[in-house]
Structure 1
Amino acid sequence: MFQNIRNRLLLSYLLILASVLGVFIIGIRLIFAHSLTEQISQKLTVLGQGASGNAEWENNHLKIDNDFRLQELLNKSQSLEWFDKQGNSILKQGKFVITIPFSQNILVQIQQGNPDIQSITLPIIDSDYGQLIGYVRVSQSLEELEETLTKLDWVLGISMIIALMGSGIGAIILTNQAMQPIEESFQRLKQFTADASHELRNPLMVIDSNVSVSLKYAEGMRKTDQESFEAIASATDQMINLTEDLLILARADRVNLLKKEKVNLVSILEQLIKLNHTKIKTKNLDLQLNFSENLFIFSDSLKLERLFSNLIDNAIYYTPKSGIIYIEGKLKKSSIEIEIKDTGIGIASENLEKIFERFWRADTSRSYWNGGSGLGLAIVQAIVHHHGGTITVSSQLGIGSCFIVSLPIN
């Protein structure tokens, strides 16, 4: 139980931390990428302004006086392209010239490819007349930018993993420290419950035996006294059952009390059916059994008897007269599956998650678990979990319930 709580706390902590770190890393990455892109845009703008200064209008034509050395453009993975006023290409220099059609209205363009190329288009204004005489488009490969961002992604990813690993180790230590006093308190409470239940059994047995003797020889007893003794006997029986249930729950997860031996589940179930034969006959229930073969398991026979006794008792008690109880045993690859199904009054869907809670009871007008100590299914779940198995339940109001117990063979 506490290990599951530890795991949930650790997982919740790591998920929250991973979410915060993820948002932080994405923010850093976006800001860094935007900053690098802005720097490239500024460099291209300066280069374009310098190139536009070397263009002039002569004889109704755009004349380029190019002072930019081609090798320098190639070394910087840049290129230049000049256009006239109509958008016709006049001159290209450099390797990374984009092939996107020229547009007078789009300032920045990015061409997807290997590598990506970013370009900026600037107008060329005649310095003498202040008229538009053409355009210059400056381009640069984004390969270096992509390599830088890839390195950044690796650094941020590795940093996040290291941070999560370090935080996970710290979270395990802190979780253990936080859970330790809770576990100690829980163990003391369980020990107190076990001790109290054990100590209460003796005086209750004394009361029960004395009341039984008094009722056996009730010839000289007044009728009102006899009724009082019968009430005392009934209350004593309830108290004995309650203390026995509390004692079982308190000792349910003690490994040294789990006596393992080869057990035939079919024999246990058949014996329990014989013990409840009178109840089944009284209610005229149709009991259907389906065991394809003997089902052997290494386990504690007494605990398994209590487990299936509680489930069968519930099925009998909450199935109306002339109802059907179906019990089936299946041998799986590494487990044995026992299904106990009835046509009882069923359980409301909103209560399915609560039925294994100790002392939990539904609304009495729609209750499936009236009577008893309220610990029957809690005991069932504790025994199943102690054996390393699972128990599932499905139910519908007015139709019935189905409990499936799966126990590992070894």
Structure 2
Amino acid sequence: MFQTTRRRLALWYTTVTAVLLLLFATGVYLYVRSTLIERIDDTLKHVVEVVERSLVIQSTEASVILYQVNVEASFRDNSDTVEDDHIDLEWFDADGKLLWSTLSEPLDIPLHPNHAGKTVELGANQFLRQVTERVQFRRQVLGYLRVSHPWFEVTKPIRQLIFELGLGTLAMILSTAAIGWLLSGLAMKPVRDSYQYLKQFTADASHELRNPIAMIQTNVQVALADPDLELPLQRQQLKVVERLTQRLGRLVNDLLFLARSDSGMLQLEWQTVPLDALLMEVIEEQQLVAAHKGIALSLHIVGTPSGNTANVPALSEDVFTLQGDWNQLTRLFTNLVSNAVQYTTASTDKPGEASVQVKLQQMEHPSNIKVRNRQSLLQVQVQDTGIGIA
């Protein structure tokens, strides 16, 4: 019982901590990822600003009103710088035609003007982070500048972060489980000790009460056996005392039985028990109480159910015997029969209808159950006309 409670406490403690750790790890992952993306976008925007300031703009030969960018003069000094930073530049004219690029091969990516930041896929798990800026001079669109940065600057540290967060979270969960198991054990120790004290007190009290009850019962029986005791009132009172002491003795025995069962001190005495003889004794003990309440208490012993002997061993003298503890089996069937008698009420209008029937019969062997040495299966039924077992 305490081990189950301890496991549940440790499991709940570990589960709650694991959920909090997972939420924390997810928050750290999202924060770091967004920070890396923002840092790359800031770098790309800064490159765009630098390149825009370095553009060489000149008028066309046809008109002084129209302007164009001198590509060679503008990007000649920028190619080496951006290569060191793993940044690629692309320059498109006003019609979207690629005029200059630091890439060895043109990208098969459509031009999207004025993209502040976008992640594009090249294929084969290759990604780029791009920023596209429209360049104008005196309200004339000169062209489009597209700046690209490889995505591995994000994926590489993110993968390392995921590995470290996963490893750290797993280590924390395992540590939390161990600590939770230890703390739950410490928390359950006072409860376990109190429960042990209670069981010990119950066992001691039950044991100490047995002697005075036995002495009272013995004295009452001696007094009842006295031939000089002739007053009906005194004899009746002594019988009441005897009945009460017997009931109190059964309660004390039950308390002692429960205390020993919980503490594991109960030792069963295995022996060959004739179940039919045991049930006869139980019925005999309860017969007076049942007769006093006007209840018909009977025992029926049946050899085979419905006359079917196909799967039933042949009857023998020990067909109703089994291996068990006589005292505990007696306690079991006494409780069943006494409950049936106690909660069955005889009707004054229809006397004789209140009954408690105990039936012992030999059962068939189910086909899906293998019985060693073809031993018989026994069934005990307790049927009553009352409200049932309380």
The aligned residue for residue 115 of structure 1 is 126
| Letter of the 1:93 counterpart | T
Q: 1:237 aligns with which of 246, 251, 255?
A: 246
Alpha-carbon distance in 2 for matches of 1:202, 1:144: 87
Alignment of 1:75-86 (within 5 A): 76-86=85-95
1:305 maps to 2:329: yes
How far the C-alpha of 1:197 sits from its partner, in A, is: 0.4
CA RMSD of aligned residues (A): 4.9
1:36 maps to 2:36: yes
Query: Are 1:84 and 1:90, in contact at CA under 8 Å, matched by a contact in 2?
Result: yes
Describe the shift of the 1:200–1:74 C-alpha distance in structure 2 as closer, same or farther (beyond 3 A).
same
How far the C-alpha of 1:42 sits from its partner, in A, is: 0.5
Segments of 5+ residues of structure 1 without an aligned counterpart are 346-366, 371-410
Describe the shift of the 1:81–1:257 C-alpha distance in structure 2 as closer, same or farther (beyond 3 A).
same
The aligned residue for residue 184 of structure 1 is 193
How far the C-alpha of 1:162 sits from its partner, in A, is: 2.7
% identical equivalent positions: 24
Alignment of 1:9-408 (within 5 A): 9-53=9-53, 54=55, 56=57, 59=60, 63=69, 64=71, 65-67=74-76, 73=82, 76-94=85-103, 99-104=108-113, 106-112=115-121, 114-126=125-137, 129-212=138-221, 220-223=230-233, 228-255=237-264, 257-259=266-268, 282=296, 301=325, 305=329, 309=333, 313=337, 370=390
Describe the shift of the 1:311–1:232 C-alpha distance in structure 2 as closer, same or farther (beyond 3 A).
closer
Alpha-carbon distance in 1 for matches of 2:88, 2:266: 83
Alpha-carbon distance in 1 for matches of 2:197, 2:261: 15
Alpha-carbon distance in 1 for matches of 2:379, 2:94: 85
CA shift digits 1:142-161 (9 cap, x unpaired): 22321211111222222223
Describe the shift of the 1:282–1:174 C-alpha distance in structure 2 as closer, same or farther (beyond 3 A).
same
| Letter of the 1:154 counterpart | F
Q: Normalised by the size of structure 2, how large is the TM-score? A: 0.65
Query: Are 1:77 and 1:96, in contact at CA under 8 Å, matched by a contact in 2?
Result: no
Q: How many residues align?
A: 337
Alpha-carbon distance in 1 for matches of 2:161, 2:114: 34
How far the C-alpha of 1:93 sits from its partner, in A, is: 3.1
Segments of 5+ residues of structure 2 without an aligned counterpart are 61-65, 288-294, 306-310, 345-353, 371-376
Describe the shift of the 1:169–1:250 C-alpha distance in structure 2 as closer, same or farther (beyond 3 A).
same
SS of structure 1 residue aligned to 2:75: coil
Alpha-carbon distance in 2 for matches of 1:83, 1:152: 38
Pick the structure with greater CA Rg.
2
Describe the shift of the 1:86–1:174 C-alpha distance in structure 2 as closer, same or farther (beyond 3 A).
same
Describe the shift of the 1:230–1:149 C-alpha distance in structure 2 as closer, same or farther (beyond 3 A).
farther
How far the C-alpha of 1:119 sits from its partner, in A, is: 1.6
How far the C-alpha of 1:102 sits from its partner, in A, is: 3.1
How far the C-alpha of 1:135 sits from its partner, in A, is: 2.3
Query: Are 2:356 and 2:383, in contact at CA under 8 Å, matched by a contact in 1?
Result: no
SS of structure 1 residue aligned to 2:261: coil
Q: Normalised by the size of structure 1, how large is the TM-score? A: 0.62
How far the C-alpha of 1:301 sits from its partner, in A, is: 3.6
Describe the shift of the 1:26–1:205 C-alpha distance in structure 2 as closer, same or farther (beyond 3 A).
same
CA shift digits 1:66-98 (9 cap, x unpaired): 236656655544333334445454444337976
Query: Are 2:283 and 2:297, in contact at CA under 8 Å, matched by a contact in 1?
Result: no
Alpha-carbon distance in 2 for matches of 1:66, 1:307: 102
CA shift digits 1:319-377 (9 cap, x unpaired): 996999999898979xxx999999999xxxxxxxxxxxxxxxxxxxxx9764xxxxxxx
* Greater alpha carbon shift after TM alignment, 277-286 vs 2-11: 277-286
How far the C-alpha of 1:216 sits from its partner, in A, is: 6.7
